Structure 1
Amino acid sequence: MDMRQCIQNCLECHSVCLETAASCLQQGGKHAEASHIGLLLDCAEICQTSANFMLRNSNLHKSTCRVCAEICEACAKDCESMGDDQQMKRCADMCRRCAESCRQMAA
């Protein structure tokens, strides 16, 4: 896998997760539950961190990518559990794309 593509996926996932967290807080209810918002913020943070490790060509990028893939997958499942909402679907799709590219980088 091309590292540049993985970096791009991580940066895009970071943005989408932050946008989704803001959208969820506006919607309220189950969308604004602490566990859901926390997972979105965790996902955004690890995506940013993984991108930074790859941009610096750190020898430890495989470790951050492995954790990033795990958190992105959890975030995707959580977003899907919120029902048929366009922002949730967009976030789940982006998290899955990022998880796949990070799994490949970690291999």
Structure 2
Amino acid sequence: MTHHSAEHRSPEMNECIDNCTRCHAICLETISYCLSKGGKHAEPSHIALMSVCADICATSADAMLRGAEVHQYTCGACAEVCRKCADHCASMGEDAEMQRCADICRRCADTCARMAA
């Protein structure tokens, strides 16, 4: 039985887990912000994308934390979804909350892409 803890994982994987965990949290916070703001921010397609992004980030982090060999597939999917979410959030104009979400999504996409390679 292999013990999976932070010191047994590569620094790259630990960084990716941290980014996925933060991206999950920030997407959830940003969904609340968007729903309260209304208008284009609250469009169902935008909320759905951010919701899926939060979910895949949590799933990716969980796969790595469990030491599951399939993490490369979840990370690959996560990188794609995070990129789309980042683009969507960045397209919302000069909005600090949306830019914050876009930034963490991009960071998460970059580390997930490396884990998937």
The alignment's TM-score, normalised by the length of structure 2, stands at 0.90
Q: Give the drift of 1:81.
A: 1.0
Q: Deviations over 1:43-71 (max 9, x none)?
A: 00000000000000101000000000000
Q: Which structure has the larger Rg?
A: 2
CA distance in 2, matches of 1:21, 1:83: 16
Q: Give the drift of 1:80.
A: 0.8
Q: Which runs of 5+ in 1 are unaligned?
A: none
Q: Secondary structure at the match of 1:31?
A: helix
Counterpart residue type for residue 42 of structure 1: V
**Number of positions where the alignment pairs a residue of Structure 1 with one of Structure 2:** 107
Match of 1:30 in 2: 40
Equivalent of residue 65 in structure 2, options 44, 55, 58:
55
RMSD: 0.7
What is the percent sequence identity of the aligned residues? 57
Q: Secondary structure at the match of 2:92?
A: coil
Q: Which runs of 5+ in 2 are unaligned?
A: 1-10
Q: Give the drift of 1:5.
A: 0.6
| 1:18 and 2:18 matched | no
Match of 1:88 in 2: 98
CA distance in 2, matches of 1:40, 1:19: 10
CA distance in 2, matches of 1:81, 1:97: 17
Q: Secondary structure at the match of 1:5?
A: helix
Equivalent of residue 3 in structure 1, options 10, 13, 24:
13
Equivalent of residue 77 in structure 2, options 59, 67, 76:
67
